[in-house]
Structure 1
Amino acid sequence: MKPTQLPPLGTLIAFEAAAEYGSFASAAKKLFVTPAAISQKIQVLEQHLGVVLFDRSKMGVKLTHVGENYLVFVQKGLEKLRLGQQQIKQFSNPDVLTITTLPSVATKWLMPHVLQWMDLNPGLEIRIEASHKKVDFNQSASDICICFGDQDYLGFIQERLFTDSVSLVISPTLLESVEHSDDEKAYLQSILKLPMIHVDWGDHNDNLPDWNDWLDAVDLNITAPNGGPHFNLSSMAIEAALQSRGLLLGQKMLINTELKSGQLVKLYDINLPLKQSYFIAYPKRTLNNPNAVAFINWLKSR
């Protein structure tokens, strides 16, 4: 056998099924063939590789050590082939668009826009995938990614959407718990004694203004406490603020709905911009779909 000569695909599928069930008979049921056919394909595969993949017994079959190692590569290879088939079907349908973005952006900003777009274009379908992982456009069915910063998608088309900012917001219920004062500075100091909700963005923390930044902006000699609740998702922090669990430095794009409905109230006209913008990124193949191009142009105009 030449090292680069691959075995027949059917033998790999039979091997994967037999390894999954630990039985040629069960693998045969899954693939709608006979146990003898599975056994024959496994023998062909073992002869091709020059190794024994299964220990046979009356109780069934069990992978050998070599078989266990080989299974890892077979599963990865078949998974990519199956993903490729799914992508072919999706790419052939211009009426389906797949967008990947950060979980909080998906929930609080993108989804309302997508629902509006689908109302305007009832024949089109948009699928949203929420993830913190970088999109590999070469292996993903995603047509578009909405990302924070442009550093992850060099070599792809990138267009800036907007630069967001944070401001101090509070639920009306929590605000009522603070005794009002005509002395604005004293009133603000009383408000700032409330718990402060913190958002942890990990590697992107330097790009997100925090409580000390806001306190410096209002020129108050106060250090932000560390005792408030911490969340790694902005959407969770917003939900905590809605439940009157503390003050929040809320992102404008993520809390627009709550501000319009009065569920959150903005205090003080101080807005601190994030240090990076949000971008829309996509591969050149996305431009081949006129529906995708129309959606991108529409989204940029929001």
Structure 2
Amino acid sequence: MQLPIKAILVFHAAARAGSIARAAEELSVTPSAVSQQIQVLEVQLGVALLTKAGRGIALTEAGERYFSMISGQMESIEQATATLRGFRSVTTLTVRATPTLSNKWLLPRLGHFLDRHPDLELRLDGTNEPTDFNQELVDIELRHGDGRWPGLYVESIAEEQFYPVCSPDYAAANSLRPEEVLGHRLIHSVKSQAQWNSWFPLAGVTPEERWPRVLFDRSHMAIDAAVRGMGIALESTLMMDEELQRGRLICPVISPPEVRISTQWIVCPRDHLRQKKVRLFLEWLRTERDIWQAAYPSGAIPR
């Protein structure tokens, strides 16, 4: 029996992409051509490899086993082909992340990842819009939210601590009682999961109906406003890590209540976890997360 090389290549691309449409785009063919080649392979093998799952596809049990068996060989073929062409293979990893996480936490660390994996070309897409993995060529997303997205692989990046912070030129560390915060302009990040109106009851404070405030729709803007001495912000140690480490932000409140929330999540179709480039990125991300967490043990207040 002649080995259906073309059909195997098309199946591998579709299984790796988790989508007929994405595989078609990658291979520069029509979606119907991809479906036809997969049907050819299924007839040859005598088993169903793919099944519909909503607007996308999913591997059957036989498809899972077959994809697992051929993936290593396919990567070897790709590397060998690139070598004989006389150039180093370049693989693009597309990561989508919120603007604040991209600017404040990922960017200062990304150089370590790129230095370790020079064969990877990284594209960082900074947006709050959630990814439609059936339509968009995104490998992995770092998403803000509550972690409830059925049908996707979801993992918390870290449990963050939220504290009042300001520039040391605005107020000294450990200089204000919680109720005295109300006498200052409060900086709000309107999309944050930790808000001043929830913090006050935890601090045993009953605020007036209104207090001086300024509002931003991005946490990185609220953090920068606090650094510039515009007031006191309620922000996450994850997002303001660099400012805390450099002493540009401090906690001015005596014994503030501890607020711990997971707001940032690793999100992708489970199929993507088979991709080597995704696994490498997640291994690096978890290592960086562990290093970061060691600097903020439970109850530690940034001073």
Contact 1:211-1:249 at 8 Å conserved across structures: yes
Corresponding residue SS for 1:298: helix
Contact 1:215-1:223 at 8 Å conserved across structures: no
Contact 2:187-2:222 at 8 Å conserved across structures: yes
Q: Which residue of 2 aligns with 1:19?
A: none
Say which structure is richer in helix: 1
CA distance in 2, matches of 1:123, 1:145: 21
Is structure 2 residue 279 aligned with structure 1 residue 293? yes
CA distance in 2, matches of 1:282, 1:94: 22
Deviations 1:83-126 (A, max 9, x none): 8776458xx87632111121111111222232221122233222
Q: Which residue of 2 aligns with 1:258?
A: 243
Contact 1:259-1:266 at 8 Å conserved across structures: no
For the aligned residue pairs, the C-alpha RMSD in angstroms reads: 3.1
CA distance in 2, matches of 1:240, 1:224: 24
- Counterpart pick for 2:117 among 115, 121, 125: 121
Q: Identity over aligned residues, as a percent?
A: 24
Map 1:161-240; keep pairs closer than 5 Å.
Answer: 161-175=157-171, 185=177, 189-201=179-191, 208-223=193-208, 225-240=210-225
Q: Counterpart of 1:196 in structure 2: which amino acid?
A: L
CA distance in 2, matches of 1:128, 1:158: 19
In structure 1, stretches of 5+ residues that fail to align are 1-81
Is structure 2 residue 268 aligned with structure 1 residue 282? yes
Q: Which residue of 2 aligns with 1:156?
A: 152
Corresponding residue SS for 1:171: coil
Instruction: Tell me how many residue pairs correspond in the alignment.
Output: 208
In structure 2, stretches of 5+ residues that fail to align are 1-20, 29-77, 79-88, 290-303
CA distance in 1, matches of 2:95, 2:266: 10
Query: Quick one: structure 1 residues 139 and 286, their matched pair in 2 at CA, closer, same or farther if it must change by over 3 Å?
Result: same
Contact 1:98-1:144 at 8 Å conserved across structures: yes
CA distance in 1, matches of 2:130, 2:283: 23
Contact 2:167-2:249 at 8 Å conserved across structures: yes
CA distance in 2, matches of 1:224, 1:94: 57
Normalized against structure 1, the TM-score is what?
0.60
Structure 1 runs of 4+ aligned residues shifted over 4 Å read 82-89, 188-191
CA distance in 2, matches of 1:224, 1:85: 57
CA distance in 1, matches of 2:180, 2:154: 45
CA distance in 2, matches of 1:105, 1:88: 33
Q: Counterpart of 1:175 in structure 2: which amino acid?
A: A
CA distance in 2, matches of 1:109, 1:217: 28
Contact 1:103-1:132 at 8 Å conserved across structures: yes
Q: Which residue of 1 aligns with 2:8?
A: none
Deviations 1:264-290 (A, max 9, x none): 01234433123x542211124423421
Q: Counterpart of 2:260 in structure 1: which amino acid?
A: P
Is structure 2 residue 141 aligned with structure 1 residue 145? yes
Higher Rg = 1
Normalized against structure 2, the TM-score is what?
0.60
